[in-house]
Structure 1
Amino acid sequence: MSVLPEAFYLPADDGGFEPTRATQSLWDPDAQHGGPPTALLAHVLDGSAAAGTRMARISVDFLGPIPRRPARVAVTELRPGRLVRLAQADLVIDGRAAVTARAWYIATGPTPPVETPSAPPPPVPSAPDRPQTVASSDFGYGQAIEWRFTESDAPGTTGVWTRVRVPLVAGQDLTGLARALIVADSANGLSLTLPPDRWLSIPPTMTATLLRPPTGEWVHMECRTHLSDDGLGLAEATLRDPKGLLAEVAQPLLIRAR
């Protein structure tokens, strides 16, 4: 495995961000995987959030291939509020929005009187003799995550523990929210039903509904892909840490033969 970059993004002097090789997509070496931009937009949105609120849902639209070029983030307040708030962040590259994210924030409050039981995932497997990868290709994003697979009972289903190896932004601590969102957009790629050398499986958007941020370094993904009979698909993932449920992820899919 080649030496990892310092982070997914380097802060630029103009307030923007320079993507590193850690953002590199499997499909195009000059494009970014959807996970790092999703986490970056959420990170910037969190910086504008009021104290005592937490991101409860983020919907991210990928408006085309995401160039691995310098970017800036523009934030727009869509629905101010004390208890609920809606904000938008755009990843602007070469003068146009390449990714748009909308996030709902909800105010935190006292602990409810009922505790919801949540089944924990399987334990993290011991480190294999050789690092596990998500594909045979050598690509930056795949190397920036540690993958330890727990199950793959049938085509279209996969269980895997993930650990992000580098910070999201150089010089800044990696938050639990970033750990979850960097890997959330991998649900489709992890649970492919059809061989990727012969079939396209493209998610134009991704929605993550968040119960809480993870504690610790590891996030488990239980991924599933379902196909319709008219060329659409749905990829889903349940995210957990050792304490239980973290989030639910959904991605609609364009399914086409290459």
Structure 2
Amino acid sequence: MTQQASAQSGWSQQELPELADGDFYYEDLGGGRFRSTIHAQGAWNPHEQHMAPASGIIAHCLALHEPRPDMRIARIGYEILGLIHAGEFEVTTRTVRPGKTIELVEAELTANGRVAIRASAWRLVTSDSSEVAAVEDAPITPRQECERWDGATEWPGGYIRSLEMYQAPHHRSGRGTVWIRTAHPLVGGVETPDWARLMGLVDTANGIATRVPPGAGSWAFPNVDLQIHLYRLPHGEWLGIDNAVSFGTDGIGLTSSVLHDVDGPFGRAEQILTLRRS
């Protein structure tokens, strides 16, 4: 899920910085500035944002950056540079490598005076490749055959409480399949493309099939990055995640996921983990 270490329960509102009041993840303050709500609260610390909606707001800003109808984002790589402070923050975007068919764009999220996330995205020209289109990733268990799952029984924080989640029958520790959606808009009063909203759910992958229970007396396993590759642009409100979690012997792990919407698989995500005794 996000950076830093001890998950707790029973957090009080008094422990939090000033948050937006609304049934959405972020309030748009204008000029690239936003304020997070309780729904964006992280799982490791009460005063941080969860990486999932934070990556969604970055995808939202990248979608608005010098858009071109003949191109789309095919890969976003997020580097988590530290705790993502809740409250007010700024997202800045720029074009690193312009081009006719390939562009590299970049975004930075700055909170509490420091850059917390740096993201780069490849934007590629689109064309009709239906003649050769093929996908090797297998479909997952349909949501209608899954059972309702309350992730808040394992994870604290406002973000987890904001989700509707379903778990496949074969789900187990270290290997799992879930369907996720949220009723909350990413930005209050602002339209966000379906694909960007779904990007705001992907980081949940590191918490859906934990190898060990999170929290005091166990292990913390925050991810320090999130790499998403999109061979198809997703749509709709449901995100399906089929993932596997591997822990190495030297304090490093990996969460690997195949991403789905209601029409099937559309991409993959990888998250490298730092394993720490809590």
SS at match of 1:125: helix
Q: Percent identity of the aligned residues?
A: 30
| One-letter code aligned to 2:47 | D
| One-letter code aligned to 1:218 | W
Deviations 1:16-45 (A, max 9, x none): 101011100122111000011111111111
- Residues 97 and 114 (structure 1 numbering): CA distance in 2 closer, same or farther, change over 3 Å? same
Cα distance in structure 2, aligned partners of 1:191 and 1:102: 27
Alignment of 1:200-239 (within 5 A): 200-239=220-259
- Per the TM alignment, residue 8 of structure 1 is displaced from its structure 2 partner at its CA by 0.6
CA RMSD, Structure 1 to Structure 2 (Å): 2.0
2:28 matches 1:8: no
Alignment of 1:35-184 (within 5 A): 35-48=52-65, 49-117=67-135, 119-125=138-144, 132-136=149-153, 138-184=156-202
Q: Is the 8 A contact 1:8 1:166 kept in 2?
A: yes
SS at match of 2:88: coil
- Residues 43 and 174 (structure 1 numbering): CA distance in 2 closer, same or farther, change over 3 Å? closer
Q: Is the 8 A contact 1:180 1:213 kept in 2?
A: no
240-249 or 99-108, which deviates more: 240-249
Cα distance in structure 2, aligned partners of 1:142 and 1:153: 18
- Per the TM alignment, residue 144 of structure 1 is displaced from its structure 2 partner at its CA by 1.8
Cα distance in structure 2, aligned partners of 1:25 and 1:220: 21
- Residues 139 and 241 (structure 1 numbering): CA distance in 2 closer, same or farther, change over 3 Å? same
Task: Count residues in correspondence.
Answer: 253
| One-letter code aligned to 1:205 | D
- Residues 6 and 126 (structure 1 numbering): CA distance in 2 closer, same or farther, change over 3 Å? farther
2:50 matches 1:33: yes
Stretches of structure 1 lacking an aligned partner (at least 5 in a row): none
Cα distance in structure 2, aligned partners of 1:122 and 1:51: 34
Cα distance in structure 2, aligned partners of 1:102 and 1:65: 19
Deviations 1:199-244 (A, max 9, x none): 0101111100012232322111012101111111010111112321
Q: Is the 8 A contact 1:161 1:220 kept in 2?
A: yes
TM-score by length of 1: 0.91
Stretches of structure 2 lacking an aligned partner (at least 5 in a row): 1-20
SS at match of 2:121: strand
- Per the TM alignment, residue 191 of structure 1 is displaced from its structure 2 partner at its CA by 2.1
108-117 or 157-166, which deviates more: 108-117
TM-score by length of 2: 0.85
- Residues 87 and 236 (structure 1 numbering): CA distance in 2 closer, same or farther, change over 3 Å? same
